[in-house]
Amino acid sequence: MNCNYSLYLVTDRALLGGQVLYQAVEAALQGGVTLVQLREKQTSSRDFYQIALGLKALTRKYQVPLLINDRLDIALAVDADTRRTCLFRWSGKYWGHKK
């Protein structure tokens, strides 16, 4: 799936004001979002994984790529669309490769 950065959504549950993440993301997808990035800095790995699974199903429904922020393990586990990018960044971070 190709990435179209024209309308890029970065999730942040702290800004939802009580709205459910999946409902907010689906509304954004219906409104024309072309790329979704899951960004969860303050959640457990288990919760992050569960959220990622739900968003992967939702973004797949709309044929929109899902990016996973800073978590190669989660990206690989849910088959996120950015796993290759994440892997390259991860390998560079830990083995000194530069893009």
The reported pTM is: 0.78
- Indicate whether 90 belongs to any domain: yes
67 in helix, strand or coil?
strand
Check residue 86 and give its pLDDT. Answer: 44
21: containing domain: 8-95
- Indicate whether 3 belongs to any domain: no
Q: Rounded to whole angstroms, how far apart are CA atoms 79 and 2?
A: 15
pLDDT one-digit tens code per residue, 1-14:
666 778 889 998 88
Query: CATH number of the domain that 55 lies in?
Result: 3.20.20.70
- The closest alpha carbon to 13, from 31, 36, 34, 39, belongs to 39
Inter-residue contact 29 to 58 (CB < 8 Å): yes
Number of domains in the chain: 1
Residue carrying structure tokens 């969860």: 40
pLDDT at residue 99 is higher than 50: no
Q: Rounded to whole angstroms, how far apart are CA atoms 14 and 21?
A: 10
Check residue 50 and give its pLDDT. Answer: 96
Q: Rounded to whole angstroms, how far apart are CA atoms 26 and 42?
A: 22
